[in-house]
Amino acid sequence: MTVERTLEGKVAVITGGGRGLGKAVAAALIERGAKVVIGNTTVAQGTATVDEFNAAAGCKVAAFKQTDITTYKDNIALFQFAEKEFGGVDIAYLNAGVAGNATDIIFLPPDDENDARAMNVNAVGTMKGTKIAMLHLAKRGGGVIINCSSTLGSNAVPSMSAYVASKHAMNGWTRCFSMLPQICNVRVNAVCPHFVETDMLVPNPDQLSRGGPVLNLVDKIPKTTTENVVNAVLLLIEDETRNAQTLMALPGDVIREQEPAPPAPETITPEFVELMGNYAQDYVTFHKKELEDYLKVYEKQYGNKE
């Protein structure tokens, strides 16, 4: 079946795109006419994936840059590289994340680096990527950012405490951008896969030696498919009405929005409703000017460095 080239001329940046969900999304975007820039920590993996895409296409449709998403330096360099390679950025799929030893820390000895790893990569790394992506998309005239969260961004599983906390943070971060399109025509959404068969679910030697009930849970819990996750990402890209949404990709090829908890009724007074109406207009006006000023500073400090 021929796929319609709905993304012809678009450029996407994908973090963690060397394998798994990131690679699958990259392939789907290329199939629809987009160019992709992959940021990955592992050079051999990222290079091999880009070479594979370019060889299959018979032309340059992908490029790679080694990227540590926990640093602004690397996030900035990645988006500047994308502009140099393909002229700009329209889509950002911020897929990079960690699980493994960073998932369950409560009964492990105190370890500053490991205990902060899930939050630093999954949450703070995504926040940094969103900030830099927003600036580059705004320069382009608009676009869409998709953060890769999880159904655990609103639920909880014992023995996955740090991972769950990081995904709750990602969902809260994503839901705060309901008014961003009015400021710079940039939409921010999150895809929230249920457990899906990727390398992230394969226990590493340390996890296997530690054992525990979570290994049995991960092995037997119902899974969604990579294809379903890709379809959810494409929906968030192509449906321009979707903004500040957290969209679940569930077993049985189900895609459904993960609704945030409603505000407590005690907080919704007539005075509050009127206040929020005024706040919304003030927010857009204030941040339009703030973005205009910040883009000038950003371009002066970081522009044309790649």
What's the pLDDT band for 94 if we cut at 50, 70, 90?
A: very high
The answer to the question of residue 287 being in a domain is no
What pLDDT was estimated at residue 105?
Answer: 86
**Cβ density class 29-65: b for 16+ within 10 Å, e for less:** bbbbebbbbbbbbeeebbeebbeebeeeeeeebbbbb
Look at residue 106 and tell me whether its pLDDT is greater than 60. yes
Residue 42 lies in a domain: yes
Domain assignment present for 283: no
- pLDDT number for residue 201: 55
Distance of alpha carbon 179 from alpha carbon 221, whole angstroms = 37
Alpha carbon dihedral 18, 234, 174, 303, in 10-degree steps, equals 60
Q: Per residue in 213-240, pLDDT tens? A: 666 676 778 999 999 999 999 999 999 9
Q: State how many domains the chain has.
A: 1
Lay out the sheet containing 11-15: strands in order across: 62-66, 35-40, 11-15, 91-94, 143-148, 186-193, 246-250, 254-257
254-257 and 246-250 strand pairing: antiparallel
Whether 302 is covered by a domain: the verdict is no
| Confidence at residue 100, expressed as pLDDT on a 0 to 100 scale | 74
Which helix (H) or strand (E) segment holds residue 292: the answer is helix 270-302
Q: What is the pLDDT of residues 39-76, one digit of tens each?
A: 999 999 999 999 999 999 999 999 999 999 999 999 99
What gap in Å lies between CA 172 and CA 70, rounded to an integer? 19
Predicted confidence (pLDDT) at residue 209 exceeds the cutoff of 70: no
Residue 201 sits in a domain of what CATH number? 3.40.50.720
Per the prediction, the chain carries an average pLDDT of 92
Is residue 267, in this structure, part of any structural domain at all? no
Answer yes or no: is pLDDT of 275 > 60: yes
Where in the sequence is the domain holding 72, given as residue range(s)?
A: 11-262
The verdict on residue 66 lying in a domain is yes
- Return d(Cα 230, Cα 242) in angstroms, integer: 16
Please give the pLDDT value at position 261: 87
47 in a structural domain: yes
Pair of tokens at residue 289 = 């000017």
